[in-house]
Chain A
Amino acid sequence: MGNNFVQKGASRLRKAPDAAVDPAVPAELQGGAAAKKAAAPAGAAKAGVPAKATAAPAPAAEPQGGTGFFVNRRVVTPQDFEGIASKKDQLRHIESLLEEIDAGHRHVESYVNLNKGILLEYAQANELHLEAGYANFATWAADRLSIDDTYVFELINDSRRIRLLEPLGAAITDLLIRASARKTVVDVLAAKGPEAAKQLVTTAAAKNSKRPRPTQAALQQTARELGFLTDRKELGNSESALPVPTHAAAKRIHAVSTSLLAKNATFTDADALRRAITAAPEDVTAQLDALADLLAQSAKGLAAARKKAQAAIDKKAADAKAAAERAEQRRLSREAAEKERAAKAAGEAAAEGAGTPGGNDVQVSLPGQAGEAEVPAATFSDASA
């Protein structure tokens, strides 16, 4: 019959592209089932159709590896050299690939930290650690990643720094492959703005042509030389204001903090202030008075808000503690009940054994039974005496 054509693999007939789509099922639900059905000819032998029939092209299947984080990652194979005839070209191709892979390798840590941090942030914001039975987010994250609790937040902060530095462009971020280096540049970014941050990195990189990727120490030194960070204490001080929160209201507060931080850096620039006072002392005084009033008003509101926030944190901690206590109490109750049941069952078994001559040889010792009761209470009194 006609299937001979199919068996020989010479079929003109092709699967219709909509063959795997059930018109009665909404498009968004078709995916997995359609892909499975597309591979259906493999099962056609059931109906007497030879396996060769699978030669018919099937619609695109799901990407290899499912939906994992590293899905579609490429591995170099001998096929990479197909069509490259001369050895010289093959060498060039290898060198090009090596360079590309090496460059990628240097950014692996940033890439990993960036993604880990995003995931941890989400888990923290949504308190997903509670689902895993952990009362504390950091403990859960530390257990999952086998790292120290304190490093969890460092990871999150580094992820935030990577995102903050991204707008500076690849030319800059390519030079910042260490978390410590990123920390210093973010300090300058917060205090002096993006242009200053760029200048810092390029200047530091230019200083040592042998090591174009500046270290944290080199960046700090350059920052001081450029006058971006005059006080050593400023390095790292911006950290508390820089992390980008997830909640909208918290984001607004973060924006205000960042803005104040930048203004404060300008304001505390001693040289600039001296020049301004010399040029227009009345003007500067008026502005400083206005700023002082504004800050005083803001301080009142800030104090009230902090008080409320702290109360919420205290309540949350108290709730968590109470919940943990309740859970512990439930656990103890369960254990006590189990012990009681076990004791009862064992007592019954012992009673049965005693009533049977030559019966059970197994001696069961339980609280309240002869074995334990033989230990006189006075023994303890004597010992303590």
Chain B
Amino acid sequence: MARGPDMTAKKKRVIASYSEKGGVGKSALAAGLAAVARRHKKVRRVLAGDLDPRGTFTAEVGITEPAFTMNDLLFNDTRNPVSPRGLAAEALIAAPEAWSGLYMIPADRSLAHRETDATTGLEMRLRLSFEGVIEEDDLGVLDLPPRAGGKLVSAGLVAATDVVIPATLDEDGRIGTDEAMATIKLVQDTFNPGLRVVAIVPSIVPPSKYPRRLAAEIAKYLADTYPDYYREDLTIPEYQERREARFACLPITSSTSDHGLAVVAAYDRILTASLNS
């Protein structure tokens, strides 16, 4: 099969946060990675894309009423087609000051229309739109919707070079991971053979010396099933600072509390693991 443009070249990275279950911390992970990447030495610019019509990531960054959205970027007028190559440059908007250094293609509810859009090449459109836009030392971060495949998930996984799967240590985390891994394989077998799974990271894990039995069971299952990917050392702890940051539309890096710093440290570790993979 013919391969698309070389987005997997050294230092051009687009990390997708993906699970097929909702509520496992996908948007939180995307926002966390974007927040820490802005101040990472190896990252020049952070370019984010929200592929979830609910726009959780967009709202967290504090973008309202944008000129263009992901829906506009993915839409292709078949009567007057516009080549998507490099088009992301026109859809990216500067995030508010608190998120300085971040540029984003936001999402709104209209993006759901693209799930039923049968236009040829929709899956490739986001990837092609990044051409010439994402440069060396830039980092792309994509927040994918919790779906079993579909156009938006496909567009995100085709545009991504790396995937991080957040997994809560419960049944949702397990199912979301299993199904995400199956979809990723489908994409690897077709559109994007170079797509890599960086890690399956335990997400929203309550800090406790005595983990609950179910959490231990799920952790064991993930570790046994995906020994190459499950990374307990990249666990994202559950602290209220994370929810507060989201509520205030601030990056988690704004937090100076011990708990906030612990969350930031977790995202830093995941980012480093991604950049070094």
**Does B253 reach chain A (CB closer than 8 Å)?**
no
How many Å from the CB of B7 to the closest CB on chain A?
17
Give the distance in Å from the alpha carbon of A22 to the alpha carbon of B82 in the complex.
24
Contacts of B91 on A, CB cut-off 8 Å?
Answer: 2, 13
Whether B133 and A44, one on each chain, are in contact in the complex, defined by CB atoms closer than 8 angstroms, is no
Contacts of A54 on B, CB cut-off 8 Å?
Answer: 67
How many Å from the CB of B68 to the closest CB on chain A?
6
Whether A49 and B66, one on each chain, are in contact in the complex, defined by CB atoms closer than 8 angstroms, is yes
Whether B65 and A40, one on each chain, are in contact in the complex, defined by CB atoms closer than 8 angstroms, is yes
Contacts of A53 on B, CB cut-off 8 Å?
Answer: 67-68
Give the distance in Å from the alpha carbon of A41 to the alpha carbon of B72 in the complex.
13
Partner of B90, one of A11, A24, A41, A46: A11
**Does B64 reach chain A (CB closer than 8 Å)?**
yes
Closest to B133 in A: A2
**Residue of B53, B88, B89 with most partner-chain A CB within 10 A:** B89
Give the distance in Å from the alpha carbon of A380 to the alpha carbon of B95 in the complex.
89
Closest to A55 in B: B67
Whether A48 and B90, one on each chain, are in contact in the complex, defined by CB atoms closer than 8 angstroms, is no
Give the distance in Å from the alpha carbon of A5 to the alpha carbon of B132 in the complex.
14
Partner of B67, one of A17, A20, A49: A49
Whether A16 and B113, one on each chain, are in contact in the complex, defined by CB atoms closer than 8 angstroms, is yes
* Residue count of chain A within 8 Å CB distance of chain B: 30
Whether A47 and B63, one on each chain, are in contact in the complex, defined by CB atoms closer than 8 angstroms, is yes
List residues of B (200-234) whose CB comes within 8 Å of A's CBs.
none
Contacts of A3 on B, CB cut-off 8 Å?
Answer: 90, 92-94
Contacts of B94 on A, CB cut-off 8 Å?
Answer: 1, 3, 48-49
Whether A43 and B65, one on each chain, are in contact in the complex, defined by CB atoms closer than 8 angstroms, is yes
Whether B71 and A14, one on each chain, are in contact in the complex, defined by CB atoms closer than 8 angstroms, is no
Partner of A16, one of B65, B71, B87, B92: B71
Whether A5 and B67, one on each chain, are in contact in the complex, defined by CB atoms closer than 8 angstroms, is no
Give the distance in Å from the alpha carbon of A49 to the alpha carbon of B92 in the complex.
10
**Does A28 reach chain B (CB closer than 8 Å)?**
no
Closest to A25 in B: B109
Contacts of A343 on B, CB cut-off 8 Å?
Answer: none
Contacts of A47 on B, CB cut-off 8 Å?
Answer: 62-66, 93, 95-96, 106
**Does B77 reach chain A (CB closer than 8 Å)?**
yes
**Does B263 reach chain A (CB closer than 8 Å)?**
no
Partner of B72, one of A1, A2, A16, A21: A16
With A23-B109, A48-B95 as contacts: A12 and B90 at CB distance below 8 Å: yes
Closest to A3 in B: B93
With A3-B92, A56-B67 as contacts: A13 and B82 at CB distance below 8 Å: yes
**Does A282 reach chain B (CB closer than 8 Å)?**
no
Closest to A10 in B: B90
Give the distance in Å from the alpha carbon of A53 to the alpha carbon of B133 in the complex.
20
Chain A's interface: helix, strand, loop or mixed, by majority? loop
How many Å from the CB of A285 to the closest CB on chain B?
79
**Does A19 reach chain B (CB closer than 8 Å)?**
yes
**Does B262 reach chain A (CB closer than 8 Å)?**
no
How many Å from the CB of A209 to the closest CB on chain B?
57
Whether A22 and B110, one on each chain, are in contact in the complex, defined by CB atoms closer than 8 angstroms, is yes
Give the distance in Å from the alpha carbon of A47 to the alpha carbon of B94 in the complex.
8
Whether A2 and B67, one on each chain, are in contact in the complex, defined by CB atoms closer than 8 angstroms, is no
Chain A, residues 324-363, CB within 8 Å of chain B (1/0): the string is: 0000000000000000000000000000000000000000
**Does B73 reach chain A (CB closer than 8 Å)?**
yes
Whether A22 and B65, one on each chain, are in contact in the complex, defined by CB atoms closer than 8 angstroms, is no
Closest to A48 in B: B94
Whether A19 and B82, one on each chain, are in contact in the complex, defined by CB atoms closer than 8 angstroms, is no
**Does B103 reach chain A (CB closer than 8 Å)?**
yes
Partner of B75, one of A2, A16, A44: A16
Whether A1 and B89, one on each chain, are in contact in the complex, defined by CB atoms closer than 8 angstroms, is yes
Whether B89 and A19, one on each chain, are in contact in the complex, defined by CB atoms closer than 8 angstroms, is no
Closest to B67 in A: A53
How many Å from the CB of A317 to the closest CB on chain B?
58
Whether B71 and A19, one on each chain, are in contact in the complex, defined by CB atoms closer than 8 angstroms, is yes
How many Å from the CB of B159 to the closest CB on chain A?
16
List residues of A (41-72) whose CB comes within 8 Å of B's CBs.
41, 43-44, 46-49, 53-54, 56
**Does B261 reach chain A (CB closer than 8 Å)?**
no
Whether A13 and B65, one on each chain, are in contact in the complex, defined by CB atoms closer than 8 angstroms, is no
Whether B71 and A18, one on each chain, are in contact in the complex, defined by CB atoms closer than 8 angstroms, is yes
**Does A262 reach chain B (CB closer than 8 Å)?**
no
A to B CB contacts below 8 Å, 17 in the list: A1-B93, A2-B88, A2-B93, A2-B133, A3-B93, A6-B67, A11-B68, A16-B71, A19-B69, A19-B108, A19-B110, A23-B113, A40-B65, A44-B66, A47-B66, A49-B93, A53-B68
- The 6 A-B pairs of least Cβ separation, nearest first, read A2-B89, A53-B67, A16-B75, A43-B65, A13-B90, A23-B112
Give the interface of B toward A (CB within 8 A). 53, 62-69, 71-75, 77, 82, 87-96, 103, 106, 108-110, 112-113, 133
